[in-house]
Amino acid sequence: MAKKTKDLSSIPVGKLVPEEAELELTRLVEEIAAADKAYYANDKPQITDAEYDALRRRNLLIEKRFPKLKRPDSPSDKVGAAPSAKFEKAKHAVAMLSLDNAFHDEDVADFVKRVRKFLGLGDDEKVYFTAEPKIDGLSLNLRYEGGVLLVAATRGDGETGENVTANALTISDIPKRLKGAPDILEVRGEAYMSHDEFETLNARLEREAEEEGKAHEPFANPRNAAAGSLRQLDAAITASRPLHFFAYSWGEISEPLAETQWEAVARLKKLGFKINALTARCQSVEDMLAHYRGIEAQRARLGYDIDGVVYKIDRLDYQERLGFVSRAPRWAIAHKFPAEKATTVLEKIDIQVGRTGKLTPVARLKPVTVGGVVVENATLHNADEIERKDIREGDTVVIQRAGDVIPQVVEVIVGERKKGARKYKFPETCPVCGSHAVNEVNPATGKADVDRRCTGGLICNAQAVERLKHFVSRNAFDIEGLGTKQIEAFHEDGTIKEPADIFTMEKRQRAGKIDLYRYDVDDAGARKKDKNGKEKPPTNKKSVDNLFEAINARRAISLPRFINALGIRHVGETNARLFASHYGSFEAFYEAAKAARDDQSEAYQDMLSIDGIGALVAQGVVDFFDETHNRNAVDNLLKEVTPQEAEKASGDSPVAGKTVVFTGTLETMTREEAKARALALGAKVSGSVSGKTDYVVAGPGAGSKLKKAEELGVAVLTEEEWARLANR
């Protein structure tokens, strides 16, 4: 067994070597994706705001230091999570993006400097900013046409949200009609619940559950309560919940509301929207920080949750010029508040096994209230985290949170440790199947991964079940009616052992080999039982027939979804799209993967040539198809479903897909602005000239890059020529 490396998460970014940075980016992608799903899709966050922000910040810092290692599925380019299948989808006319974060005063000063530099403003030119509380609720986009509210949608993944119009119409703070508004106006803001109303609601729901003899899991905090209340299928339930709404921005609009952010928000107030009274207009970094401190001082007395202050450049023409980068606007930033802390006892450490076999330790805490929220669990990440902090069962620990359920263990109070407390021994075998749990070796570096994984593969029930859940999940086959509990029940009794079994259930049902009618396959997925705990006779034939219909509707599926559904290590949505685009068909991808077992083979080198695919991902593909049981599972699946060939890429812009290099002094815009516009048009911006470069845009003072372009015969354009080409 290879010797495992130390916990890379404890190494400062400035001291990481490229191989370590690549490993860290992989870990961060996985952890951030899981956190996004828990927070945005399930309304049940699994890590604290502070811990989440730290993950994103570390990811961004590594990408800045090693730009060539940035992954195609980088969290820096993503917002939120995919919308729930429970609701109709609502496409946003203008993307609902997230915000970059500032954690220190210096970050705010740097933000202002970046804005000035991007816009080419001198130190003596005044620049105003607005500063407003960052509400900890659920983001909403309200679309009005002709003054009438037509669609209300959640943020979703930023591009597409959930249509919750009927529910939003029950919120008194949201006007149903507007007078004097632009013909098309999308108003954006935050739905939230006050602290007092949150406590009253939890008490009422608990009382009602007791009266009906039902189990009740209370909402953990006001944000979860607001999100859960707004995302009800029955609008009458939403109407019974005390929801409020603050407006602070807009999306698509047929005519400007004003010339500045300050005036535009004031216009929203005149139209009938509630805006936050703590919003201020600032003319310096000192003003911004002073307002931040003032809001922080009264945070506990506001009566609703906020987790920071948002700064926005005031002039809207400046906002337009600054534009966006990745998932966030350049003209705004969120200055987050420090995390809250508390002390409690870590009673036990449990091990959970995920679909990739990763063993994740979870701290079970003596319940403690932090900032008004009861917390009971904390993720401990891996064995190195436990060893580094010397965490032992029974220890008194300091935890911190910033609005979420599961906190971070900051430190152990060693002075309060009980005598005889033993160091925690991380299991070397899987707690589910008993297989060896090892630290995998990265083929790119030869070093062992910090995470320990079960080697049982599909013979491990935990992995098999989790892989099947992934297979039917929203971004894979997305089979309606086949959710978590159904998969668990069907796997437990042997009905579904591998993906192909899903598509043979109807045939087996008709042949009398299985009997699904003994299950109640509803949204809850629970088996119907009598008072003695025995299963009741068949009662829900219609639900089973609906399930078969949903399964059959997925027998033809897009190639990216099919590849993603297989659950290949390191291959998620983004990498699946890269493979689909490169190979065009699953047959070609399958044959290439089997031929790439030799890392010197043409097939393996071709796989590595895909922009965005590195050795770690390629090895994940090779390892997956090198397993006989995986190939058999894929072959069985292909007998039941047909992955479609990939669609040909197309672009409206004449520069889409072209590689561009800017050099020299640009006269009509700053270099950063030029790059941003090129990226927005679908072009690729490079910092060096090569044979793959399509255009070099050269301004006065161009030097070595221009010379190399001429040597290689690359097309050289003036700034004016580039503008004509890009806007053609």
134 in catalytic set: yes
Q: Are 197 and 242 in contact (CB under 8 A)?
A: yes
Question: 3-state SS string over 310-379?
Answer: EEEECEHHHHHHHCEECCEECCEEEEECCCEEEEEEEEEEEEEECCCCEEEEEEEEEEEEECCEEEEEEE
Give the tokens for residue 100: 């970059």
Instruction: Give the number of other CB atoms < 10 A from CB of residue 558.
Output: 16
| Of 690, 287, 641, 689, residue with least CA distance to 498 | 641
Q: What is the spatial distance between Cα 526 and Cα 539, in angstroms, rounded to a whole number? A: 13
**4, 37, 134, 312: which one is catalytic?**
134
Report the DSSP pairing between strands 148-154 and 328-329. unpaired
Q: Which residues contact 29 (CB under 8 A, 6 or more apart)?
A: 59, 71, 73, 74, 75, 572
Give the tokens for residue 161: 């949200």
Chain-centre distance for alpha carbon 489: 28
Q: Are 72 and 610 in contact (CB under 8 A)?
A: no
- Give me the amino acid identity at 582: H
| Of 524, 512, 517, residue with least CA distance to 486 | 524
417 DSSP assignment: P
Q: With 0-12 CB in 10 A as exposed, 13-18 as middle and 19+ as buried, what is 184?
A: middle
Q: Are 482 and 472 in contact (CB under 8 A)?
A: yes
Look at phi and psi of residue 326 and say left if phi exceeds 0, alpha if psi is from -120 to 50, else beta. Answer: left
State the residue for tokens 């939230």: 192
The H or E element spanning position 411 is: strand 408-412
Give the tokens for residue 194: 């006050």
Q: What is the spatial distance between Cα 655 and Cα 659, in angstroms, rounded to a whole number? A: 8
Q: Are 654 and 631 in contact (CB under 8 A)?
A: no
Q: What is the spatial distance between Cα 398 and Cα 48, in angstroms, rounded to a whole number? A: 14
- Give me the amino acid identity at 16: L
Q: What is the spatial distance between Cα 103 and Cα 11, in angstroms, rounded to a whole number? A: 20
640 DSSP assignment: T
Q: With 0-12 CB in 10 A as exposed, 13-18 as middle and 19+ as buried, what is 298?
A: exposed
Cα separation values, 702 from 18, 658, 663, 673, Å: 31, 21, 6, 18
Catalytic residues: 134
